[in-house]
């Protein structure tokens, strides 16, 4: 279990596992002050299928991750998630290299795109619950030199759409409409509703 530094407004009533290696998702969940463990998923992440929507793809990946972890931790409530960036229907995952990162950031520059996170909560004693959250993100127009300098920081390497709104990449964003935590990687308010509804969490 995690040793949280502060008691939050909620208490975990069941064993919770976050099926993600993302430090950003871990930090968001830690902010609730609840106890949970981290068990990164080893599930495959295939490319989107032809015609598959960003939400459907993100939920499918979240389910695959959560079920893989649940297979190893059958008595826990497992949270899986997957975040993608979509621009005019094109799904952008993590860049494969710096050239790919530049391609993504150039396409996003000066445009409004969608950040979609799929979430799957797998329970030991009931059917899984899945949902997707979408946030509109407006980007400033950035020069090639700015984007190359940003890529050189190394931050875009493991981020969907090749940027981190909570990091250096905050300079790229002019406006968002929707959940901020969704853009970071975990739509916390929506997830909280599910965990409270099924008595995984209670108020202190």
What percentage of the chain carries pLDDT values higher than 90?
84
Residue 2: inside a domain:
no
Residue 5: inside a domain:
no
Q: DSSP per residue over 136-188, as a string? A: EEEE----HHHHHHHHHTTGGGGSGGG--TTSGGGGGEEEEES-HHHHHT--H
Is 144 exposed, middle or buried, given 0-12, 13-18 or 19+ CB atoms closer than 10 A?
Answer: exposed
Residue 191: inside a domain:
yes
Residue 3: inside a domain:
no
pLDDT at 138 over 60: yes
pLDDT score, position 5: 53
Residue 188: inside a domain:
yes
CATH number of the domain encompassing residue 107: 3.90.950.10
Residue 179: inside a domain:
yes
Residue 1: inside a domain:
no
Between CA 49 and CA 55 the distance in angstroms is 12
Express the helix, strand and coil content of the chain in percent, nearest 5 each. Answer: 35, 25, 40
- Per the structure, the count of domains in the chain is 1
pLDDT tens-digit series, residues 79-125: 999 999 999 989 998 999 999 999 999 999 999 999 999 999 999 99
pLDDT tens-digit series, residues 167-181: 999 999 999 999 999
Which among 82, 97, 100, 199 is annotated as catalytic? 82
Residue 82: active-site member: yes
Whether pTM > 0.85 for this model: the answer is: yes
The boundaries of the domain holding residue 128 are 10-203
pLDDT tens-digit series, residues 30-81: 988 889 999 999 998 888 998 899 999 999 999 999 999 999 999 999 999 9
Residue 129: inside a domain:
yes
Burial 80-106, CB ≥16 within 10 A → b, else e:
bbbbbbbbeeebbbbbeeeebbbebbe
């Amino acid at each position: 279990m995690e040793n949280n530094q502060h008691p939050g407004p909620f208490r975990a009533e069941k064993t919770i596992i976050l099926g993600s290696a993302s430090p950003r998702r871990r930090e968001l969940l830690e902010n609730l002050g609840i106890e949970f463990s981290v068990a990164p998923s080893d599930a495959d992440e295939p490319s989107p299928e032809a015609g598959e929507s960003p939400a459907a793809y993100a939920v499918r990946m979240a389910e695959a991750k959560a079920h893989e972890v649940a297979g190893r931790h059958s008595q826990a409530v497992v949270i899986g998630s997957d975040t993608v960036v979509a621009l005019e229907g094109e799904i952008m995952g993590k860049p494969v290299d710096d050239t790919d990162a530049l391609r993504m950031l150039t396409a996003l520059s000066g445009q409004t795109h969608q950040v979609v996170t799929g979430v799957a909560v797998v329970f030991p004693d009931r059917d899984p619950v899945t949902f997707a959250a979408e946030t509109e993100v407006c980007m400033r127009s950035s020069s090639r030199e700015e984007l190359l300098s940003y890529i050189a920081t190394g931050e875009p390497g493991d981020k969907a759409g090749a940027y981190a709104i909570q990091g250096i990449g905050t300079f790229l964003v002019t406006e968002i409409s929707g959940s901020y935590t969704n853009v970071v990687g975990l739509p916390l308010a929506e997830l909280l509703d599910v965990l409270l509804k099924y008595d995984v969490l209670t108020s202190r």
